[in-house]
Chain A
Amino acid sequence: MSKSLLRTDKEIAEIYTRHSKTVYRVCFAYMKNPADTEDAVQDTFFRLIKSAPVFDSKEHEKAWLIRTAANVCKNVLRHWWRRRDNIEDFYDLPSPDKIETDDVFSVVMELPEKYKTVVYLYYYEGYTSVEIADILKKPQSTVRNYLHESRAILRERLGDDFDEKQ
């Protein structure tokens, strides 16, 4: 990214429409409640507005937003940890937007933080481990390791519900 640009409201709204669900899900995986997820989503797009990166493609745009959303959430959680707040206290904050989740999702949410985004990107978004490594700026071996470990946990907890197919 060699240059940056200010985007019009229309351009920002288009980017938001294209990727809001993905960003929301990445943020929800970390924040676990709609209120904090909303804040994290907004912060992610605020960063997009402020740093105004130029993207080569829509995939590049999406990857940038996923990585930024993950970083935003990790920063928030780190801040909470510094304040010694109990993160679990924030899981079920009262919110006008109650999100119904199922057992599978609950099990995914119980995965360690570092696995959740990888699982989401791999199983839901369909990225390969190489692509995930590129998006999250992590070594491919680390991503493969995360996937291997999270798969083992999911298989153990979900049993037959965890059926992988190509």
Chain B
Amino acid sequence: MISMKNNKIIASWNKIEPSDSANERMLSAILKQNRSIHDRKGKVISMSQTKKFNKMILVPITACLVALIALTGLVGNNVGWFNNGSSKTPTTDNRGQSGNWGDSAPAIMVNGVIFIDTYEKYLGQVEEDDIFQVTSYYDDGMPAQNGQQNFDRTCKTQYVIESSENLIVHIDGEWRIFKASKANTPSNDVPTK
């Protein structure tokens, strides 16, 4: 159907239009609504962006922290950070002992002096007559009595008093030098053989 025109109808409709003030009112209200929608959407966008940003930042940070903790644990174990100064982890238990030295370095108390493992191998000869045997085991840090040590639960470890400064201790299948802790002074007590 072809559209028809009717001039009188067109003329009458032409009179129907908003006044300038009505136009101003309507446009003002419409733009106000538009700005309010923008504000609301803007908030939603910024909130979602914040969430996205948080995810983007927090995930790598968490991953880094986990990696750092894991690495710290690994390195710490290897260098003895968690072994209270001990830089060597027991490898074998050739003494039929637990092999667990706990948090302290291997140490023996002789004549009131604590001798601590230097991990230095003794290259000399040990006279059998000079050998003593530890008497007890102490599992909570450093030994507190003469003849007591902190690394051999079976208490079969042997040692030789080389001097007031050094002990020669049979540990891990070898003779090693234990040095006197400087905080203690030697006494004249004789350990049990």
Residues of chain B touching chain A, judged by Cβ–Cβ distance below 8 Å, are 1-13, 15-19, 21-23, 25-27, 29-31, 33-35, 37-38, 41
A122's partner among B3, B17, B33, B34 (CB-CB below 8 A) is B3
Does any Cβ of B come within 8 Å of A120's Cβ? yes
Which among A46, A99, A100, A123 is the interface contact of B6 at CB below 8 angstroms?
A123
Stretch in A62-70, A75-83, A156-164 with 4+ CB within 8 Å of B: A156-164
Q: Are B33 and A46 closer than 8 Å at their CB atoms?
A: yes
In-complex Cβ contact of B4 among A7, A130, A164 (8 A) = A164
The chain A residues found within 8 Å of chain B, CB to CB, are: 6-7, 9, 12-13, 16, 20-21, 24-25, 28, 34, 37-38, 41-42, 45-46, 49-50, 96-97, 99-102, 104-105, 108, 119-120, 122-124, 126-130, 144, 147, 154, 158, 161-166
A120 contacts which chain B residues (CB < 8 A)?
13
Q: Is the interface of B mostly helix, strand, loop or mixed?
A: helix
**Chain A interface secondary structure, helix, strand, loop or mixed?**
helix
- When distances are taken between beta carbons in the complex, the residues of chain A under 8 Å from B7 are 163
Contact among B2, B12, B31 for A108, CB-based, below 8 A: B12
Task: Evaluate contact between B9 and A104: CB separation under 8 angstroms.
Answer: yes
Q: Report the 3 A-B pairs with minimum CB-CB distance, sorted nearest first.
A: A105-B12, A104-B12, A45-B30
CB distance from B33 to the nearest CB of A (A): 5
Give every chain A residue within 8 A of B18 (Cβ-Cβ).
Answer: 20-21, 24, 34, 37-38, 41, 97
